[in-house]
Amino acid sequence: MPEALESGRTFSGPVVYVGDGDSLCVALGPEPQQWAEVRLADFYAPELAHPGGQEAKVALARIAKGRSVKCLAQHRSHDRVVAKCNLQGRELGALMRAAGVREGGYGR
């Protein structure tokens, strides 16, 4: 894992892709291949195929896509870094809950 993504480190950049309601890609540099796949540590969205999953993805894209976020890496999970990310000082999980997106689904 790149040093910038190790536990306790912060990284920031624009959100270039939203995979579902609790995962996104953050650009780490000017090159297209310089990005980190992030699983939000503070929000657990339903899976895409479950009720509310598609709505969660749309909400996260509306909130974060194209906007710069600052993330604090917590640990690694499979091929992603699990991190708390904020947008203008507000955690993405809190913004998702404020938008009325429900949490839930099967194990992580």
pLDDT digits (tens, 9 = 90+) for 57-92: 999 999 999 999 999 999 888 788 999 999 999 999
Per-residue pLDDT, averaged over 22-36, amounts to 86
Q: Domain residues of the chain, as ranges?
A: 3-98
Query: Which one-letter DSSP state was computed for residue 8?
Result: T
Residue 5 has pLDDT above 60, yes or no: yes
Please provide the average confidence, as pLDDT, over all residues in the chain: 90
The C-alpha atoms of residue 90 and residue 77 are separated, in whole angstroms, by: 23
Look up tokens 């710069």; give the residue: 68
The C-alpha atoms of residue 11 and residue 27 are separated, in whole angstroms, by: 10
Query: What does CATH list as the number for 3-98?
Result: 2.40.50.90
Other C-beta atoms lying within 10 Å of the C-beta of residue 6: 13
Residue 34 has pLDDT above 70, yes or no: yes
Residue 32 has pLDDT above 70, yes or no: no
